[in-house]
Amino acid sequence: MRKSLNFHLEDVDFPTPSEDRVLKWFTKVSESKGYQLDSLNVVFCSDTYLLEVNRKHLNHDYYTDIITFDYVDEKIVSGDLFISIDRVKENATLLKIPFEDELDRVMVHGLLHLLGYKDDTESKQAEIKAQEDFCLTLRSQN
C-alpha cells in the first residue's frame, strides 16, 4: 500500500510542516494502534473557511480548531483533516507553547479521531488528551 499525506492551504499562507516528517510520525502512530495509514489530506485554513465547513457539513455554527472527515475502512486509515491556523495560533498563545507544538497536537488529534478515539464526553476528552501526549512523544523518534 502506498501511503500518502498531502498538505493544502485554503485562505492562509504559512510554512507548512515537513510532509515527510508528519507522514513518518503518523505511520508510527497508526501502527502503534493496529492501523495501517493509507491517505490523508490536511487542509490548513482560516477561521472563516473552517466555520463555513462546520456550518455546511455539520450544521454547527461555531469556531473550532479541527474538523475530521473519516474515510477509514476496517483498519486502513484515510481521511481529511481541516485545521484552522487562526485557532492554532490563538491556542498556542493562550497555552504559552510554540505554534509548531500546538499544530502537531491538533494534527494528531485529528488522526486519533480516525483511529477511533472520541471526545464527546469528559472521560473521552481525558483519554484523547492522554493519547495526544503519548503520540507527541513519538515525534522525536522518527
Q: What is the pLDDT of residues 24-33, one digit of tens each?
A: 999 999 999 9
Alpha carbon separation from 131 to 88, 100, 118, 136 (Å, rounded)? 19, 18, 11, 8
All three cell numbers of 116, joined, read: 477511533
How do strand 36-45 and strand 76-84 relate by DSSP bridges?
A: parallel
pLDDT tens track for 31-82: 999 999 999 999 999 999 999 999 999 999 999 999 999 999 999 999 999 9
Nine-digit cell at 68?
A: 475530521
Structure letter (DSSP) for residue 81: E
pLDDT class of 2 with cuts at 50, 70, 90: confident
The mean pLDDT value for 9-36 works out to 95
The pLDDT of residue 142 = 45
- Residue 132 Cα distances to 18, 73, 109, 114, angstroms: 19, 22, 6, 13
* Grid coordinates of 33: 494502534
The pLDDT score that the predictor gives to residue 141 is 52
Nine cell digits for residue 122: 469528559
As a whole number of Å, the end-to-end CA separation of the chain is 20
What does the block give as the cell for 30? 497508526
What's the DSSP call for residue 127?
Answer: H
* Predicted confidence (pLDDT) per residue in 90-141, tens digit: 999 999 999 999 999 999 999 999 999 999 999 999 999 999 999 999 996 5
Question: For the whole prediction, is pTM greater than 0.85?
Answer: yes
CA 113: distance to chain centroid? 8
- What are the grid coordinates assigned to 100, written together? 509548531
